[in-house]
Amino acid sequence: MSAVESTDVLVIGSGFGGAIAAYHLAAGGAKVVVLERGPWVTADEFDHDFLLGSSYTRVFDFVVGDGMSILGGNCVGGGSVVYFATMPRAPGFVFERHGSIGRRMWPAAISRETLDPWYERVEQALPVTQQRWENVPYAGGLWAAACNHAGRTANPAPSAVDVDLCTNCNWMMAGCKFDAKRSLLLNYLPGALAHGAEIRPLHEVQHLTRTGDGYRVHYRIVDDEDYRVLHDTGAIDAKIVIMAAGTGATPVILRRSEPHLGAMPPAVGRYFSGNGERLNTAVFDEDRVRDVLGLERPDGQAYAGYQIGRGPVVANWDHLDGSLPEHERFSLEQLFFPPGLGTILAQVPDGTDPLWFGRDKKEMLRRWQSWLTIFIMSEDDNEGVFGEPPETGNAVRLSQQMLGTGPLRYEPTENTWRGWNLADAEIKDILERDGLARVAPWTNDLVGAYTVHPLSSCRIGDDPATSALDDRHELRGHPGIFVTDGSAVPGALTVNPALTISALAERAMPGIVRAARERGVAVRYAGSLPEGEAASRRPVHI
Amino acid sequence: MPPNRHDTDSTTILTVEAFADTILPGEKRDPSDRAVAGAAPGPGAVAAGAIDLLELPGGGLAGTLPGLADALNGHAAELGAAADPDVPPFVALDFEQRTRLVQRLTAPDHPEKAMWVALALFCNMAFDSAAHLNTAAALEAGHPGLLTIGYRQPEPDGVWRFPSYSYGRRLADVHPATTSGGSPA
């Protein structure tokens, strides 16, 4: 056998969990290699184009499961390249949740108060800024005005978008060609590179084996155009492995490694949460928008601005109330969803079957610019379970990019449905008031429920029976393997999770550095933050 | 990757066109058109290029289209519709019959659901996102689906920018438990 390459730290995945780990370990002096299964695409290559093979389909991964489909990132920068950059901290009650296990599901060491300093670090590094009403796009303004009309509140949510650079093109799911969206390509990843880390795109990790003092990570090279085609195999030895392949992939890699590493903790690939996500689409009556809400654009139209903006900007947080029972708390966020994936699941309000295709659906599409999508993030029951891993990767790929089927099974419980039903009713009450709009939830019949924020498939906790990781993110029974992506989050957060995933990764770093030192790696925890590029050095308005 | 229309047999094309027309219906291309039922005004998924998108090798369904058409015609024949020697059985169904059959095939408990949902997904994408074409060029050429949904034109460099985007004023009170950084407490 030819000599196998070796490194101090091997990071699997370059999204929030991987990039933050790569930065701190490299900054502290460790030799770091990052393996990313997707391509390395930069701002000048981000297209405004739905064409199959453009950046939109290269950087996304849509995996259809049984009862739940996951939309995630697939590129250097991971979810940060495709996300909509809404970055609130999770409300305090979330950390006290019991979920389905009859006890607090978060580790005793973590609460909102103890996580706040780590949130603050990420907010500085990206940076995250508070949005102002003066630059809320039409869709967010419409949601705010409708909430206000119904006696509710509405908040412009904190965001990692530099509004001065943003053109409100709403192409952020294809990567931001203006570098207005503060993805990891602008802060943690260049910081890691500056400290000597290597990032290798199109390297898909398949499984891990043991070596004398660490682990061997086995990968396949992915074809850069047709991801269904895998090329050479390879392996790298490392003393420490950081798993950050994403909630839909980390447990799959670990389960595939089980014959080599020994039994995994029972929570690996269980307790998956879709962050309680569900969507409703409203079709507005433009005259009522003008007459009832008094809204008018400079060009004289009332709304007709679904396409304009930058994803979700305004959220309703009236049901983020810790005094409410668990599973009855949720946020409602205005959202843009591009055509294609964002239209087929939308159902005709008050129609007759079929609601997702046919004549009535086509008529609904004619009014697409008057649509508003409302995004529910609630408390589900961690009821997702991963089945047997596919032969390679985390899915059986159908298309050259983006589309495949995976082993996740998710059957929503009554608790999950309670939250969804309450949220659906709340949206209807707000938006159908005084004839403003007609609204219907997306169908779950085609690809199951649908999440853009998969969580908890390999979660932290204090109870070994229901958590795969200890409170330092180390995989139980497999010292030296740490998990820092969304799979480590114990449960649904009721808000967008990227900031919490990142804060948890930041919090885990001193402990991971200590573990590396114990294995003979010359590394220290410097506690620095990446300098990033120009925009992150500007004043942070928080 | 140019579409390889000539590699797909006419029975397959007619059948898949009839399926696409059931998902997003349109007007007949000419009076003799059998695949397009003419159930809705304006162009539908067929005119939007559903076959062109489905025939792209990268999409993953191109090689399966003859099999999908066979299966669909098998289901249609089971319905006992009057045999029509001129067209495949699914094409012989009227629009309402086609609709009911697609509803049944895409229902959660149907064993073939996944493949029919995938086919429907691509038909939908051809219409409202023209995934077989460069988006700016498709708009320039008057792609019927993008025009139907009112997708806006890009700037001359093929990039979308919206300099006018905001009502520019406070439109609601924020939640009383908002932190100084703008997050929920």
pLDDT in tens, A288-334: 999 999 999 999 999 999 999 999 999 999 999 999 999 999 999 99
- H helix intervals, A294-444: 359-366, 414-431
CA distance between the termini of chain A: 55
Residue A122 contacts by C-beta under 8 Å, 6 or more apart in sequence? Answer: A20, A87, A128, A499, A502, A503, A506
Count of pairs with CB atoms under 8 A, one residue in A, one in B: 222
The DSSP result for A266-291, as a single string, is TTTT-SBB-TTEEEEEEEE-HHHHHH
Summarised one tens digit per residue, pLDDT across range B107-135 is 999 999 999 999 999 999 999 999 999 99
Q: How many CB atoms lie within 10 A of CB A324?
A: 14
Cβ under 8 Å to B: A residues 230-289: none
Summarised one tens digit per residue, pLDDT across range B52-62 is 999 999 999 99
Q: What is the pLDDT of residue A532?
A: 58
Q: Is A438 on the interface with B (CB under 8 A)?
A: no
Position A502 pLDDT exceeds 80: yes
Please state whether beta strands A68-73 and A60-66 pair in parallel, antiparallel, or not at all (unpaired): antiparallel
**Residue to test with chain B: of A379, A446, A500, most B Cβ within 10 A:** A446
> What is the Cα–Cα distance from A444 to A348, expressed in whole angstroms?
14
Q: Which residues on B lie below 8 Å from A300 (Cβ)? A: none
Q: State pTM to two decimals.
A: 0.96
Residue B59: which of A317, A338, A399 has the nearest Cβ? A399
Summarised one tens digit per residue, pLDDT across range A470-488 is 999 999 999 999 999 999 9
Summarised one tens digit per residue, pLDDT across range A223-246 is 999 999 999 999 999 999 999 999
Residue B174: which of A155, A167, A357 has the nearest Cβ? A155
Residue B31 contacts by C-beta under 8 Å, 6 or more apart in sequence? Answer: none
ipTM of the complex as predicted = 0.95
> What is the Cα–Cα distance from A303 to A297, expressed in whole angstroms?
7
Crossing angle for the helix pair B95-105 and B65-78, to the nearest 10 degrees: 110
> What is the Cα–Cα distance from A378 to A383, expressed in whole angstroms?
14
- pLDDT category at A535 given cuts 50, 70, 90 is very low
- Scanning the structure block, which residue is given the tokens 């961690």? A382
Residue of B nearest to A361 (CA): B24
Tell me if A75 sits within 8 A of A179, measured CB to CB.
no
Residue A403: which of B60, B129, B133 has the nearest Cβ? B60
**Residue to test with chain A: of B113, B149, B155, B179, most A Cβ within 10 A:** B149
Q: Which residues on A lie below 8 Å from B168 (Cβ)? A: 133-135
Residue of A nearest to B147 (CA): A366
Q: What is the pLDDT of residue A542?
A: 34
Q: Which residues on B lie below 8 Å from A304 (Cβ)? A: 150
Residue B103: which of A89, A167, A354 has the nearest Cβ? A354
What ranges do the domains of chain A cover?
8-336+370-519
* Binary contact (A343, B128; C-beta < 8 A): yes
Q: Mean of the pLDDT values across residues A21-35?
A: 98
Residue of B nearest to A92 (CA): B185
Q: What is the pLDDT of residue A334?
A: 98
Position A537 pLDDT exceeds 90: no
Position A57 pLDDT exceeds 50: yes
Q: What is the pLDDT of residue A536?
A: 43
Residue type, B175: H
Q: Mean of the pLDDT values across residues A459-471?
A: 98
* Binary contact (A147, B172; C-beta < 8 A): yes
Please state whether beta strands A32-35 and A277-284 pair in parallel, antiparallel, or not at all (unpaired): unpaired
User: Which residues are paired to A82 by β-bridges?
Assistant: none
Crossing angle for the helix pair B113-128 and B65-78, to the nearest 10 degrees: 110
Q: What is the pLDDT of residue A2?
A: 57
Q: Measured between CA atoms, how close is B160 to chain A, in angstroms?
A: 5
Task: Please name the fold of domain A8-336+370-519.
Answer: FAD/NAD(P)-binding domain (3.50.50)
| For residue A354, cis peptide bond before it (omega within 30 degrees of 0) | yes
> What is the Cα–Cα distance from A132 to A390, expressed in whole angstroms?
46
Summarised one tens digit per residue, pLDDT across range B7-52 is 579 999 999 999 999 999 999 999 999 999 999 999 999 999 999 9
Q: What is the pLDDT of residue A113?
A: 98
